[in-house]
Structure 1
Amino acid sequence: MKQTVRLKKLRENAIIPAYGTEFAAGADLYACMDKDITINPGCTEFIHTGIALEIPTGLVGLIYARSGMACKRGLAPANKVGVIDSDYRGEIMVALYNHSSEAVTVSKGERIAQLVLAPFITADFTEADSLEDSVRGEGGFGSTGTH
């Protein structure tokens, strides 16, 4: 299913997000800076994309790591999954964290993350004195075992 998303280039050299294959769920986001940025081990740098989006109401933009960048180079979004609300109109930035033991350089125009558009549901949270029982109950953090 295709959805139109309006995009504004904030910098002339910004690259429009693109899907790597016909059935890719995530569109690649590209670095848009004046110079390459080196991220030291254990550090985070905010990487500009040079674009702003108008995400349709009812959808959310989710920013995920690119698997190759995360597994081979140790760079992944610092917040694990970035959330872009449909009413946000500022520049899309990716906070990349260096999980590796070596400094890693991000180059201008490099693919830095992937953007997935997804529907979401909002809730009306209602306070209650009790909750319905379930088989699991209050068990958490490994309570269901490893098999």
Structure 2
Amino acid sequence: MRIFAAGTAGRVSLSLVAAGLAALPVAFLLPTEPLRLVACNAALLMLVAGAGIGILADHHDRHEALTFAPSTPAGYLTLALFVAAAVLLGTRFAVVGLGLGLLAIAAGLFSVTARHDRSALVLAGTLLPAALVSFFLLGEFALALGP
């Protein structure tokens, strides 16, 4: 079983993931709080971009068509959970939105791996909540460290 696609896109994906993983712990060693937050966000963006490029490159290597709309009920569930999480994160029910974001990640991983849903909306509905939840949790962790 391959984890990363072969070729240039696979190498770019692997390097972005490796750089993000290496930069994340280093970000917490920076002296000031704003620098820590910027470095954490940059590391997470590298991780999410690497994962997205890797997924798209893997689809391309397998010659699988990437559709726009979900093709399975699990894909539609992922999309609904993502939209609900995005709406609730802007309200006083942000904790519920965070939980729905985690459920969207799990449903998205299930629909992509087990149900083979190859749609752009499902991939976005999986990667974007992963980025948002990670930004939120790491931002809170960086703020808790203090100066």
Note whether the superposition's TM-score is higher than 0.5. no
Higher RCO structure (Cα 8 Å, ≥6 apart): 1
* Structure number having the greater strand percentage: 1
TM-score by length of 2: 0.26
* Structure number having the greater helix percentage: 2
